[in-house]
Amino acid sequence: MVDNRFVNQFLLVRNSRFFNTLVISVIIASALYAGVSSYDIPPRYIYLLEFFDYGITLFFTIEIIIRIIAERSLIKFFKDGWNVFDFLIVAVSLIPVGGAESVFVARLLRIVRILRIITVIPAFRHIIEALIKTVPRVGFIALLMFMFIYVWGAIGALLFEEADPEHWENIGVAMLTLVQVATYDDWAAVMGNVIEFYPMAWLYFVSFIIINAVVLLNMVIGVIVDVMTTEAKDNFLPDDNNT
């Protein structure tokens, strides 16, 4: 009974609005710290930032311990993928670093800690979970896009290599050029480099843009919107049987 009361206290802390607000505030403070530490800080202030960083790491460690105890079981805690994500970020931040690369590793860990806000705010978790569910359907569309880029890249390298070797030297360079064209990044200039040698080259570029940039990319957006709409209905609309 004593153990249950002990665990219930941690459960109340974990579920309290104050605790969750405090966690979000510390994550935001960690984000601000990561930004400030990218500047050239006078030496007399560096120790203050390091002390602040230790305080954030200590808070995250205590917070993850509270959540583990509140779950009553390590197995139950680690069954949740978001808990695993949080635990790994906290655990990695506790690993001591040394040597010439320590500053880079420390800054990288500070930046990664910001991602913990995804697990704290439910709306963010729903968005990420919805995006993960789109992966199988989006994957086939992405594969189809790659096939078109590969075919058009091979054709472009064959046709335009002599006219503009910078963009069409080989199929690899041509595929990178087509990715640029698909994002509308100065694609008219790329086309202009070859159109004086091949007046009908506009058919090549326009057909590629219509297929990849208009049709397939919009299919990706459509899939994401469809899944997120379905998830929103499942998570927020009341059950008809309970109304």
Residues 122-128, mean pLDDT to the nearest whole number: 82
Cβ–Cβ < 8 Å for 205, 170: no
57-93 pLDDT, tens digit per residue, is: 889 889 888 888 888 778 888 888 888 888 888 887 7
The angle formed by the CA atoms of residues 235, 241 and 242, to the nearest 5 degrees, is 75
139-175 pLDDT, tens digit per residue, is: 888 899 999 999 999 999 998 988 888 899 899 999 9
Domains in the chain (CATH in brackets) are 2-120 (1.20.120.350), 125-242 (1.10.287.70)
What is the pLDDT confidence band of residue 243, given thresholds at 50, 70 and 90? very low
End-to-end, the C-alpha distance of the chain in Å comes to 38
pLDDT of residue 238 exceeding 80: no
- Distance between CA atoms of 44 and 49, rounded to whole angstroms? 10
pLDDT of residue 45 exceeding 90: no
Which segments of the chain are extended strands (E)?
none
Which residue reads 């500070």 in tokens?
Answer: 110
Q: What pLDDT is attached to residue 203?
A: 92
